[in-house]
Amino acid sequence: MSVPPQPSHNHLLAALPADDLKRLAQHLEQVSLNLGEVLYEPGDTLRHVYFPTDAIVSLLHVTENGSSAEIAVVGNEGLIGIALFMGGESTSSRAVVQSAGVAFRLPGQKLKKEFNRHGDLLLLMLRYTQALITQMSQTALCNRHHSIDQQLCRWLLLSLDRLPGNHLNMTQELIANMLGVRREGVTEAAGKLQRQGVIEYSRGQITVLDRPRLERLSCECYSVVKTETDRLLHYTRRQDE
């Protein structure tokens, strides 16, 4: 029997003291995020932030000719819409749902009001932002210096960390768009992993069969991001995990 989504299924919300979460809870709205849904485009004025529980959202930079590359992924460890409390109000990236699921949406003004209390939420948001910057920086390095095979392993691991199981619903074309590479390159890399018994791939369904080996095949970028995220947000892990 599945457990209904709760705000506490998001690690940031779960880490808030009870009184802080109670103030926010009355303004949180549960929303379904559908695969491929765009939460905002570059230059949009942000009016809400989203706290995913079991969905994953990709942050993408888009060029003038329409090509794109992923700069970060956000799941139950964080939130979408940091520009709202960083003072920018808008962002140069696009936010696209990579894996469908549920999130809790909060009006931006309510978040800023809580942020301005200079309490626990302020510290959480700043630490999360630092973790997100680390992921963005490492992604840029990875895209420049590491092979498509290594990039795919890193991407799969980051996605798995934000999902309850070892299954991903993702076409090779979508993965190629996220990584900013040709689909043929992803097809070849995924084929290698499948032949080695690391993953099983069929009709947009990816099942990771051997995570330890997947971690060994990945470049150091995954471990750098995970280590820094765990260091900064170690106290957001829920008791039941």
One digit per residue, the tens of pLDDT, for the chain of length 241 reads 567 889 999 999 999 999 999 999 999 999 999 988 999 998 898 999 999 999 999 999 888 887 778 889 999 999 999 988 887 778 888 999 988 999 999 999 999 888 888 888 999 999 999 999 999 999 988 888 888 899 899 989 999 998 888 888 877 777 777 777 787 888 888 889 999 999 998 877 889 999 999 999 998 989 999 999 988 887 654 434 4
- Residue 213 is predicted with a pLDDT of 94
Alpha carbons within 13 angstroms on the beta-carbon side of residue 206 total 27
- Residue 3 is predicted with a pLDDT of 78
**Helix, coil or strand: residue 234:** helix
The residue whose two tokens read 């329409």 is: 66
- Residue 27 is predicted with a pLDDT of 95
Neighbours of 155 (CB within 10 A): 25
The Cα 53–Cα 215 span in angstroms is 24
- Domains defined along the chain, listed by start: 7-143+225-236 (2.60.120.10), 147-218 (1.10.10.10)
What's the gap between Cα 156 and its chain centre? 12
- Residue 70 is predicted with a pLDDT of 86
| DSSP annotation of 230 | H
- Residue 85 is predicted with a pLDDT of 85
Considering only the C-alpha atoms of the chain, give the largest distance between any 2 of them, rounded to a whole number of Å.
54
The residue whose two tokens read 């498509």 is: 148
The Cα 121–Cα 20 span in angstroms is 8
**Alpha helices, H only, 98-210:** 108-115, 120-145, 148-160, 172-179, 183-195
- Residue 142 is predicted with a pLDDT of 87
Which tokens belong to 162?
Answer: 């934000």
- Residue 235 is predicted with a pLDDT of 60
The Cα 49–Cα 51 span in angstroms is 7
Which tokens belong to 135?
Answer: 């992921």
